[in-house]
Amino acid sequence: MMVKITSGASFGGAIKYDEGLLGKEQIYETIGYYGIDMDFDTWGRMTPNLQDITDSFEMQAALNPKVSQPVKHFAISWPPEDAERLTNEVMMEAVRQYLNEMGYGNTQYLVTRHLGTDNPHCHVVANAVDNNGKKISDYMERKRNAEVCKKITNEMGFSWGSHKSAKQSEIPTDCRQHTYEAARYEISRDIASAIPEVKNIKELPVVLMSKYGVTTELKLDNNGSPCGISFSKQIKDSTGKTVTCKFSGSKIDRQYSCKNLERIIIIWHNFPQLRKDAKNILDLHAKIKDTHRIPPRVEHQCEQLKKQISRLWKEEKKLQKSLPANIAKGALAVMLAIGFSTPLTTLVTALTASLVIAYQDNKLSRIQNQKANIAQDIKSIKQTFRPEPERHEENRPSQKLGFKLSL
């Protein structure tokens, strides 16, 4: 069983393709649906009305207008060896299990089977907005897809078939599809597990080989800096034959290119301090917002920071529940690099300077020429970010605010 996933914005276009209405001569049959308007003929067969079904999908998608691509399209296929046993009932059983495993069990969908081809296959149009108006998460969708396909194939006893699209440079052409996908998925999990255990990318090959059996080739430029990376692992195919599957980092996942891996590792090890500084920023803002003049732009940035921290907390909890602890840490590191680290770092740095300026401007306007009081106020801000034990003033070194911003 193999599934190709695409996203889009037009329910009408996806349904027209699946129902054979785009000018292609293909035989199709509607074999299942959920949560949409459906018509039936006098024999009880489903006869979908394009406009009614499109309206049903669009009405539910309108519950969450923030979702710009509410159309999920799944092209599900099986090898020719399974054609005889794949009745509509068996195919729908596999489709329903797949949708539930992928998180689409509580949303609308339409299943159309295309006939007259060598390999049995069907197309599923599903709504990315569920029945409660929430967006269905597509986090790590490609990796979860490979795992679910493997699980259903094993549980329902489907054949594996041949991997026609395998590239000679990446994997032997006689390797099975599940072997290729399984190897890529396993290596991806191994990399995620190893990220929290290394301090720089040059340590990664040793950890991957010693703990996970993954061979890593790290290319260096003339200056000795990493400039390329690839991974390989031996895995058994369905016949019991051991196959060595090799991929460049970006073929595993675009975040696992050499440059991105370096960035992820740095971010992971620096993020605890960044998160503390972000909390201190929000604490300072709450402390002075009622008594000091803060520019509207800074107020808006503080609200952004609160939302980012809140979203980060939710995603972190979700990963901890859905993945083993070691993999969850690596997945969190990747997530930080993709969605949080750079904007959060920039925001915290900018807010630090802006809040301090607002704090000082307010004090200067209220307390003219009272340098001692102003100095004490600035000292209190420093303590907010880098609290230190009290020392004699003559022995106190000059202090700096987080992210090397001097006050």
Give per-residue pLDDT as tens, 240-281: 778 888 888 888 877 788 888 888 887 777 777 777 777 777
Please state, in angstroms and rounded to a whole number, the distance separating the CA atoms of residues 154 and 67: 34
Q: Residue 276 has which token pair?
A: 């503390």
The pLDDT of residue 112: 92
Amino acid at 271: F
Residue 235 bridge partners (DSSP): 243
Query: What is residue 47's DSSP assignment?
Result: -
Closest CA to 195 of 104, 264, 245, 115: 264
Which two three-digit tokens encode residue 396? 């106190």
Q: How far is Cα 81 from Cα 195, in angstroms, rounded to an integer? A: 41
* Residue ranges of domains in the chain: 2-156, 177-256, 267-404
Q: Pick out the chain residues at pLDDT < 70.
A: 19-26, 42, 161-180, 238-239, 292, 315, 318-320, 322-324, 326-328, 331-332, 334-354, 356-407
Query: What is the rounded CA–CA span in Å between residue 273 and residue 259?
Result: 23
The per-residue pLDDT for 21 is: 53
pLDDT at 276: 77
> What local confidence, expressed as pLDDT, does residue 295 receive?
73
Non-local CB neighbours of 113 within 8 Å, separated by 6+ positions: 28, 29, 30, 31, 88, 91, 120, 121, 122
C-alpha–C-alpha distance, residues 352 and 345, integer Å: 11
Give the pTM: 0.44
Query: Within a 10 A sphere around the Cβ of 42, how many other Cβ atoms?
Result: 5
Measure the CA–CA gap between 26 and 179, rounded to whole angstroms.
32
For the domain spanning 2-156, the CATH number is 3.30.930
Nearest C-alpha neighbor of 261 from the set 143, 326, 221, 253: 253
Q: Mapping DSSP to helix (H, G, I), strand (E, B) and coil, where does residue 109 land?
A: strand
Spatial contact of 382 and 399, defined as CB atoms under 8 Å apart: yes
CA 111 – CA 100 distance, rounded (Å):
14
